[in-house]
Each structure stands twice: as C-alpha cells, then as structure tokens.
Structure 1
C-alpha cells in the first residue's frame, strides 16, 4: 500500500504540472496572478498561489489525509514526506516539459530567475531540487526503509 501512495502522489503532481503550465503559460511563477508576493531571498519569492497550493493544500491532501484514513505510522509519514518532496520537483519539471510558452530549453539559470541554482561546472540544477531529493532520501532512511 505504501508504494501505491508514492506512485499516486507522483501521478497527481505530474497532473498538477500540466494544469499549472497551461494556467501560467508564458508568465511563470504566478507572474500575472492576483494575490500577494513575499520576497524571501534575492532570487526567490513566495506567491499567494504557490503558498496555498503547495504548502497548505497539497500537504493536507498528500500527507495528512492518508494518515486520517489509515492511521498514523512513522512509515506512512515517511513515505508521504518522500513522495511529496519528490513530487514537488517532478511537478515543477513537468511544467517545463509540457509548457508550450516556456519550453524545456529555457530550463536554466539564465532564463529561470525565480530559483537559486546550484552550478557544478557546466551542470546546473535548481537548489530546491537538491533540497527535495535530500529530504526524500532522509525521510526514506529514517522513517520507512525496509
């Protein structure tokens, strides 16, 4: 049942990547959405849309809801945290794969100014992706590995 929760979460986040890409189009990071924006760092801002979707709604649906249905367990908490952490980066990368107005070739630090990037030679990756992977692996290691 736990792997199924992981897979369903990833599929839901892929679907979210599609609708978010079609909703935002050529205006990434809720550039033309209504609502507030808080500048967190020089390169990262938090928009009302992203706050409510990714830090309130999805954690409630993807982390809390399974525990309400199935009861709390450290293993279930671990898999939902891992799935959500990986799901966030899968959702984001899906946005670049399917957005006809902001194609994958623009997935780099020169064009994606709303992220901090980790650069290793010619290779670069959004810092948030690295953090998501680390959280997912730590959750697996400490909470749900066999």
Structure 2
C-alpha cells in the first residue's frame, strides 16, 4: 500500500508541475510545441487527442523514470515489468485527475466533457482512459504483488 501511495505522491507533484507549465490550457494547447491534430493512429492509440512535442517527450521520459529502479538493481522479470507498467498507468490516471481538480482554472465543477474537449470519450462520468487504466493497471499491479506459486509451494 505504501508503494501505491508513493506513486500517487509522484502524480500529485507532477500534476502541480504541469499546472504551472500549462495553466488553463490543457494538453499543451498554449505551449510552443509542434502538434499533430488528426491521424488515424491518434484515434487508435491516443484516444483521438493531438500528439504534441511536449507529450512525445514527457511520456517516454516518465516510462524511463519508472524503469530506473530495474536498471539500478540490474534486474528484470515479468512481474517487475508488470509492476512498472501498472505503476505508470496509475501515475498518469492520478496525475491527470489531479491536474483538473487542483488546477484553479478547472476544479471539480468543471470536470466534465463540456470543459475538457481533449478527452473525447467518457464513461461513467470520467474519461474512458481512467476506466481502462484502472482495470489494466490494477490487474498488472495485483499480479505483480501477488505471491508467486513457487513461494507458496511446500519444499
């Protein structure tokens, strides 16, 4: 549980960094960066959102950041990769949500599709990405923390 709390704390700090960078203009709308507004691959992999130079660099940076402990320890296995990927999904889910609720330009009241056009698909009152990341990221984290069958087997 402490690990999940740590990932959420990282998300809180990065949400505040992004609020300072983007202000009221989410999804790098006001940043001096390149943008690809429409492409069929964006619909397939990016939820229909534009690809920006900012996001093209920040997403792989965070993925590499979460892999850092594996490189320090010089260890890798499938459970560790599942934990890393689940953590990245949890991080982005929490970071994105916090960006809205603690951003003075948005807040809880404006957490709606009408005020957040870059989240094109909504499910159960939240961006569909949140549902997907909760299910997939949660499953990856659950599996990564589950005791292995070898550890449970008698000697």
> Quick check: TM above 0.5?
yes
Q: Give the equivalent residue in structure 2 for 1:26.
A: 24
Q: Secondary structure at the match of 2:125?
A: strand
TM-score normalised by the chain length of structure 2: 0.79
Cα deviation, 1:65-95, whole Å, max 9, x if unaligned, reads: 1111121122222222111111101001111
CA displacement at 1:142 relative to structure 2? 4.3
The reply to whether residue 89 of structure 1 matches residue 93 of structure 2 is yes
- Quick one: which of 68, 72, 90 aligns to 2:71? 68
Could you tell me how far 1:27 is from its partner in structure 2? 1.1
Q: Which residue of 1 aligns with 2:139?
A: 138
Name the Cα RMSD after superposition: 2.0
**Shift in CA distance, 33/20, structure 1 to aligned 2, threshold 3 Å:** same
> Which portions of structure 1, spanning 4 or more consecutive aligned residues, are displaced by more than 6 angstroms?
none
Measured in 2, the distance between the counterparts of 1:90 and 1:130 equals: 12
2:97 is paired with a residue of what secondary structure? helix
Return the offset for 1:5.
Answer: 4.7
* Within-5 A mapping of 1:6-25: 6-25=4-23
Extract unaligned runs of 5+ from structure 1.
Answer: none
Alignment of structure 1 residues 92-111 onto 2, 5 Å: 92-111=96-115
Larger radius of gyration: 2
